[in-house]
Chains A and B, each alone.
Chain A
Amino acid sequence: GNSVTQMEGPVTLSEEAFLTINCTYTATGYPSLFWYVQYPGEGLQLLLKATKADDKGSNKGFEATYRKETTSFHLEKGSVQVSDSAVYFCALWMDSSYKLIFGSGTRLLVRP
């Protein structure tokens, strides 16, 4: 079946450090891929998305590239801020389905 695997957290970084959160997927077909972010005490918000191989999604300084050959969609940011501390979820969506399939989430903690 379709699934998403994320690196386990927590990931702890100092402010201005480079961030990578790994995400790989298994899917029968060609899914769309998403990153959602959950700030403390809130619901999830869409961060970025990509629909096909080699697409790059970007938002708020975050980027992720849809890599079909490695079935990956790693999240990156060149310089993190304390305000980026949150839980990040990778997800996939098949056109034939109503529903998103989420990874287990990765908690990011950025220290001043």
Chain B
Amino acid sequence: DVKVTQSSRYLVKRTGEKVFLECVQDMDHENMFWYRQDPGLGLRLIYFSYDVKMKEKGDIPEGYSVSREKKERFSLILESASTNQTSMYLCASSPTGQGAFDYGYTFGSGTRLTVV
């Protein structure tokens, strides 16, 4: 079964810490995405990557950065965590073009991050 795996299910960090959220996919997908999910706001795109070492800002990139050194791995970095970054973070991957339509996105189970 194809998978997107997020390294942590729950995470508690202190304000000001540097936080790494890891995501790995085993489907050889070109595209990878980081979303945050908040009640009443749905899913908001933080960053996405369409190839190794390529990245583009999504709708809410402030306070975040990303790294994609290998095709299967896409990391989200909170440079200095703040309490307003407490949220559920979802990673997703997809193939390009028609494949993205046919198969949709594959999502990980999410990381619930609490910043105290």
CA distance in complex: A16, B77 (Å) = 45
Q: What is the minimal beta-carbon distance from B104 to any residue of chain A, in angstroms?
A: 4
Do A105 and B109 have beta carbons less than 8 Å apart? no
Given contacts A41-B109, A98-B31, contact A36 B104 (CB under 8 A): yes
Give the CA-CA distance A51 to B108 in the complex, in Å.
25
Which residues from 33 to 51 on chain B have a C-beta closer than 8 Å to any C-beta of chain A?
33, 35, 40-43, 45, 48, 50
Asked whether, in the complex, the Cβ of B42 is within 8 Å of the Cβ of A104, the reply is yes
Of the four ranges (under 10, 10 to 19, 20 to 34, 35 or more), the interface on chain A belongs to 20 to 34
**Does residue B90 face the partner (Cβ distance < 8 Å to A)?**
yes
Q: How far is the CB of B100 from chain A (nearest CB, A)?
A: 7
Q: Is the interface of A mostly helix, strand, loop or mixed?
A: strand
Q: Are A99 and B45 in contact (CB under 8 A)?
A: yes
* Interface of chain A residues 35 through 81 with chain B (CB within 8 A): 36, 41-46, 49, 51
Q: Pick the 8 closest A-B CB pairs, nearest first.
A: A43-B107, A46-B104, A104-B42, A102-B43, A44-B107, A43-B109, A102-B42, A105-B42
